[in-house]
Chain A
């Protein structure tokens, strides 16, 4: 009998296993997790649940933009969790969006957790789709499910997962519902037990697809292991000054070798 219980615990489908909150112990880690999402989606609540910290973040224009770091441990893997500024998009060049974008694109987190508000899925998916253009390994944390239920909204998380090509975890971080599943899913995505194949876009603009392909080809031949060449090509075509500067300054050279796992 006890054997049976143990085997359930160790099965990857089980979400009873508890993660260990590690607070600020971020010096040594095995994997980096980025926490992204719109403002007001309970991102900080998820962060606090996972790390045991009490991060309070206020977001208003002009305020200094900072990143919060914390740690947790799961199945003896030490995770460093980076709470990115809440943004509505990654397309503009405001400082908060740059911090989020640069970290996901160039910081190369092992997994990006996109916290979404289930009561306002459309708005949240807009950012999620943009994030999926610049990273492959991601989990959608469908937060505020309790509030959605109260509003009479039901979200088909499996359908969403199929459409997005990444795992979707329905949860209510405030009530600690689904947080264990989120941790297990993060772990599974990191170890590639769950494979992600996020949807990529073909934009309905004449000539864009060809231009992106051409430019991405040039980028790849110069920097063979450049992450997300298509997205960088797209941003160059949109005249993104940050990306242009990074390219001109040769910053992409530094990005090309894979990121070392631990300092």
Chain B
């Protein structure tokens, strides 16, 4: 008797229940075993020389039980170090040019044309400056980080990373390839979220998308480094301050990995129940990367793409920052009202009202956090002699920075909590938009937005609570 397609599907489902749980893994394994057997039976190696070629030795190091994770840490630290160090100079040059040279020109042009101060303020000190800041801060690191990353990818290293982390991710119910998307997130969470397309199973792709925000992105590295230098670095003798600051940033980044694993585990046990799916991960041969093609594709596909989205979101934020610092209701500016309203909550989290307001204003792009904080502090604390006036973003040296923050009532606790909150808070709006585009669901987008915020809130509140008990 013929069964209908629906009946056959039902039958397949019921037959499936009688199969062992790990049937998929065992099918893959038996395929592998047969392939290995056939290959070894029909291959002769002269004195086993091939196994000792450099590729094999390299794989032994890069995928070894102990050496694998260690070399991974070393390689990524090196890339991050190159990115951070290498981006400083071009960032400063771009900043000097866009903010130091072009901006005064625009201002004098506006004055010459007698444009109304409000329009000039919004356009130049708001929109133009925030966009210029995002370009000067984001473009150089991305232009260094993405090509380096693509070269590693071309060379064949990334499958090895996935191999190293596969077991850990499988243990928490996620996909091994999440190791790759997590690493992409270290550059930019929006790019990391897009990279989640390489994960086949929708459940695991969602886990990867929702937890990507725990990878510190380009926009947050500068915040971490700046705050670590000013607050943590100052705790130790000067010759150790660089190392102490770097170690504390690395610790925060590792806490991020820990949060990724923990929240992936939580998600696959609660909202996104399921087992990890098998995937055939082969370690392809190492190939010399083609540098020019890498530069081209990583610049076009990743750098410019991500930068463009950031600019689109940063421009309106600039206007909002300027307005909030310049529009008064009653006897205080909008910014002052908001800071006062946020202060009790901020105290609970070991932060200041200024920081929380900055995080709200800077939702479009994480990289404008520090300038926004400084600008608001100067405004709110009524400092004079810093920067260019109300609502204008600026950059200052480390000593000035400390002076401003001290005047704003910052302590070591504020610094630590800011570093934690910078790690765990809502993704930037570019990433939120990307998550919506990738998942097509408002529900998951909202979850991805508020879940890290909740984690960050509890993290900061507990640290502040314990701190105040002990100190």
Q: Which residues of A contact B (CB under 8 A)?
A: 38-40, 58, 60-62, 88-89, 91-94, 97, 117, 119-123, 125-126, 128-130, 151-157, 159-160, 163-164, 201, 203-208, 211, 214-215, 218-219, 221-222, 233-234, 236-239, 244, 247-248, 250, 252
Q: Which of B195, B197, B284 contacts A40 (CB 8 A)?
A: B284
Docked-complex contact A207 and B31, CB < 8 angstroms: no
CB distance from B283 to the nearest CB of A (A): 8
- List, in ascending order, chain B residues with CB within 8 A of A62's CB: 194-195, 197-198
Number of contacts between A and B (CB, 8 Å)?
167
Q: At the interface, yes or no: B331 with Cβ under 8 Å from chain A? A: no
CB distance from B305 to the nearest CB of A (A): 11
- List, in ascending order, chain B residues with CB within 8 A of A117's CB: 285
Residue among B6, B23, B46, B49 with the most chain A CB within 10 A? B23
- List, in ascending order, chain A residues with CB within 8 A of B30's CB: 201, 203-204
Which residues of B (15-32) have their CB < 8 Å from a CB of A? 15-16, 18-20, 23-24, 26-28, 30-32
> Secondary structure at chain B's binding surface: helix, strand, loop or mixed?
helix
Known interface pairs A62-B194, A237-B19; A92-B200 also in contact (CB < 8 Å): yes
Contact with A along B35-62 (1 / 0, CB 8 A): 1101111111111011001000000000
Q: At the interface, yes or no: B67 with Cβ under 8 Å from chain A? A: no
Docked-complex contact A125 and B9, CB < 8 angstroms: no
Docked-complex contact A208 and B6, CB < 8 angstroms: no
Shortest Cβ distance from A125 into B: residue: B35
Q: At the interface, yes or no: B91 with Cβ under 8 Å from chain A? A: no
Residue among B11, B35, B44 with the most chain A CB within 10 A? B35
Known interface pairs A122-B39, A203-B27; A215-B49 also in contact (CB < 8 Å): no
- Interface segment, B72-80, B274-282, B310-318, B396-404? B274-282
Shortest Cβ distance from A237 into B: residue: B16
Docked-complex contact B11 and A152, CB < 8 angstroms: no
Q: At the interface, yes or no: B468 with Cβ under 8 Å from chain A? A: no
- List, in ascending order, chain A residues with CB within 8 A of B194's CB: 62
Contact with A along B279-293 (1 / 0, CB 8 A): 111101101000001
- List, in ascending order, chain A residues with CB within 8 A of B284's CB: 38-40, 123
- List, in ascending order, chain B residues with CB within 8 A of A130's CB: 31
Q: At the interface, yes or no: B2 with Cβ under 8 Å from chain A? A: yes
CB distance from B188 to the nearest CB of A (A): 14
Docked-complex contact A129 and B9, CB < 8 angstroms: no
Q: Which of A91, A129, A211 contacts B18 (CB 8 A)?
A: A211
Q: Which of A92, A129, A159, A247 contacts B41 (CB 8 A)?
A: A159
Q: Which of B23, B26, B50 contacts A153 (CB 8 A)?
A: B50
Whole-angstrom CA separation of A254 from B410 in the bound complex:
71
Known: A58-B297, A153-B43. 15 other contacts (CB 8 A): A40-B287, A88-B280, A88-B282, A89-B279, A93-B201, A121-B39, A126-B35, A130-B31, A159-B42, A163-B38, A201-B30, A207-B18, A215-B15, A247-B9, A248-B5
Whole-angstrom CA separation of A41 from B4 in the bound complex:
43
